[in-house]
């Protein structure tokens, strides 16, 4: 998987090592960190583009993020696409969760799914919430899910 920083700089080491380096660097500076992981997607013609972000929040001091983009020609219903987004976020959260435990960093998985039943994405809410919570991760949906609905959304557009 190819990851990059927000400034476009490519991350050339495995993402787990880059995350470890970031956690150590930021905690050595005295920052308390929280990490939010989210994915958003857009359908563009015959392609579905995904952006997954790892957002680091420095308590009271802004934040930064790492970004992964990919695309597929596979067609999805809205519910399937929402669940693929969640699966992509969970995949990276699972890969990194031992680091967050080791360094005592709070982590949430953010789903770009609306809690309002009048929105189509709401069809996937129950399954997504069960999937994320079942993996033992904290869960946020819209409007609190800024990692997916704001950060990843800006990258995939």
Residues 28-37 pLDDT 10s: 999 999 999 9
| Position 58 confidence tier, pLDDT thresholds 50, 70, 90 | very high
**pLDDT band for position 157 (50/70/90)?**
low
Coil, strand, or helix at residue 144? Answer: coil
Indicate whether 155 pLDDT > 90: no
Whole-angstrom distance, CA of residue 127 vs CA of residue 125: 6
Instruction: Round to whole Å and give the CA distance between 119 and 46.
Output: 23
Q: Is the pTM of this model over 0.85?
A: yes
Span 97-109, pLDDT tens digits: 999 999 999 999 9
The answer, yes or no, to whether the previous bond of 126 is cis (omega within 30 of 0) is: no
Name the token pair of 39: 């994915």
**If you average pLDDT over residues 83-92, what whole number do you get?**
96
The domain limits of the chain are 3-156
User: How much is the average pLDDT of 88-98?
Assistant: 97
What beta strand segments (E) does the chain contain?
Answer: 3-5, 10-11, 33-44, 47-58, 63-72, 106-114, 138-142
At residue 151, the pLDDT reads 86
Computed over every residue of the chain, the mean pLDDT equals 93
């Amino acid at each position: 998987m190819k990851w990059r920083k927000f400034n476009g700089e490519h991350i050339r080491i495995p993402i787990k090592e880059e995350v470890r380096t970031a956690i150590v660097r930021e905690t050595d500076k005295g920052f308390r960190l929280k990490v939010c992981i989210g994915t958003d997607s857009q359908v563009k013609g015959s392609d579905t583009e995904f952006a997954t972000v790892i957002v680091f929040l420095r308590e009271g001091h802004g934040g930064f993020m790492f970004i992964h983009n990919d695309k597929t020609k596979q067609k999805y219903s809205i519910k399937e696409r929402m669940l693929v987004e969640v699966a992509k976020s969970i995949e990276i959260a699972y890969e990194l969760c031992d680091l967050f435990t080791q360094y005592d960093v709070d982590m949430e998985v953010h789903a770009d799914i609306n809690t309002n039943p009048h929105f189509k994405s709401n069809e996937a809410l129950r399954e997504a919430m069960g999937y994320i919570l079942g993996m033992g991760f904290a869960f946020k949906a819209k409007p609190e899910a800024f990692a997916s609905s704001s950060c990843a959304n800006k990258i995939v557009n």
